[in-house]
Amino acid sequence: MCAIFGISGVDESSNLTYLGLHALQHRGQEGTGIVSTHGKEPFVHKERGLVGDVFTASVINSLQGHTAIGHNRYSTAGGNTSENLQPLIMKSSLGWVSIAHNGNLVNATELTKKLEQEGSIFQSTADTEVILHLMAKSKERELTRALIHALNQVIGAYSLLVLNHEYLIAVRDPQGFRPLVMGSHKGRPVFASESTAFDLIGATYEREIEPGEMVIVSLNNNFSVSSIRPLNSALKKRCVFEQVYFARPDSLVYGSTVYHTRKNLGKQLAEEQPALHAEMVIPVPDSGVYAAIGYSEFSNLPFEMGIIRSHYIGRTFIEPRQAIRDFGVKLKLNPVAEIIKGKSIVVVDDSLVRGTTSKKLIQHLRDAGAREVHLRISAPPTAHPCFYGIDTPTKKELLASSNSIEKIRVFVGADSLGYLSLEGLLKVASEKSGEGFCHACFSGDYPCLT
């Protein structure tokens, strides 16, 4: 999961890109980068760290030009190293080309071996670089045609922004795994992984980039915008986990507001998995808040913030020398004993992966006086790893891959455990956005791999 942002034809393009990336920080925290241009040479800055720390005023001032693309990295393919930071940039017979990518290419290893045998030298271990080499080896000498040539050879998930001295191109893979939206800032085009980036810079949301669509901005023709559909058609397989977990609740994803989708997931969960003797609903903050609101409304149980989350945890902290049980979880999440003491409570979260955090949290709630703890998850069991841009654990590490719901309940120590069904999830997700979702992490039904 990464973030991409691009804008063309505006003053302070790098500053607006910085703001857009800041709004998309939740999609990647390992490193960030911006490439800008005035239509001739590129200006580049990439660095590990958060957006607000990396892009100082002097750095932003050095990124000149009317057009820029940016990227926040959350490593999936390739490691968390500086050479994998994006946007990647390469010089070839096409001139300089820069690319920012959200997603994973499932045939990247095969293509890398083939390209290396043909003489290509890779500068990173990111699968994104495969696209640049395929473009460079193309006989095409125009960016759009070279990009089409490359993308017709890759398989998997990609939402891309591609920039050179002539064009800014936004393109989404034919199955539409990862979101990509288009807006307008003072009449000029802007692109982002999520619409929340537009809100911060005062841009207007226009629409999604459709699966298989390529939107082309001409830097030499008054930033005119055109659209083509040059890629092979395929069934839509949009990542449903974007709506469950990844996207910000104030974003529009697949045509629906994430806030309302998650609230409706909570309502569906309450219908499917009621807790008959519970006295209140509390969320695991911040991930479970919106589903818990829906669960509370549907079940007519009071909603309480019975767990408080600390938002001031840095990358490192000093543990006390004297052992404190479950120190890491306590540092992040702390029950409010006065609210939950003596009560039967429903605890709502959006996912349960390894189960270790849930196990420790439930014990904390019991230590704080909860009489009963009923755990509800607003998604199906996560039983399979993702190969399309999400850094999930291996199948062996996923608790639901080899354990029944009853065994998981015993492991985490809940009085009852209920998951949303896959049918319920797809029913809610499809209300406004239609059919066509990837749910491989829940079902094991992998697009592209069969």
Cis preceding linkage at 127, omega within 30: no
81 residue type, one letter = T
**What is the b/e burial string over 272-309, where b = at least 16 CB atoms within 10 angstroms of the residue's CB?**
ebbbeebbbbbbbbebbbbbbbbbbebbebebbebbee
Q: CB–CB of 234/174 below 8 Å? A: yes
Q: Are strands 167-172 and 181-185 parallel, antiparallel or unpaired?
A: unpaired
Strand partners of residue 372: 344
CA distance 210 to 228: 10
From residue 1, give the alpha-carbon distance in Å to each of 172, 198, 326, 338, 389.
15, 19, 28, 38, 5
* C-alpha closest to that of 111 among 96, 90, 99, 126: 126
Owner of token pair 């940016």: 70
DSSP string covering 90-129: EEETTEEEEEEEES-BTTHHHHHHHHHHTT---S-S-THH
Of the residues 2, 239, 386, 448, only one is catalytic, namely 2
Give all strands (DSSP E) within 166-294, no chain letters.
Answer: 167-172, 181-185, 188-192, 204-208, 214-218, 224-228, 238-239, 252-253, 256-257, 280-283
Owner of token pair 């429903």: 346
- CA 101 vs. chain centroid, Å, equals 12
CA distance 280 to 237: 37
* C-alpha closest to that of 54 among 23, 32, 84, 82: 32
End-to-end CA distance of the chain: 23
Q: CB–CB of 157/173 below 8 Å? A: yes
From residue 353, give the alpha-carbon distance in Å to each of 143, 388, 400, 413.
42, 17, 7, 15
* C-alpha closest to that of 370 among 379, 361, 378: 361
- Could you confirm whether 386 is annotated as catalytic? no
- CA 44 vs. chain centroid, Å, equals 24
CA distance 89 to 70: 12
Q: Which residues are catalytic?
A: 2
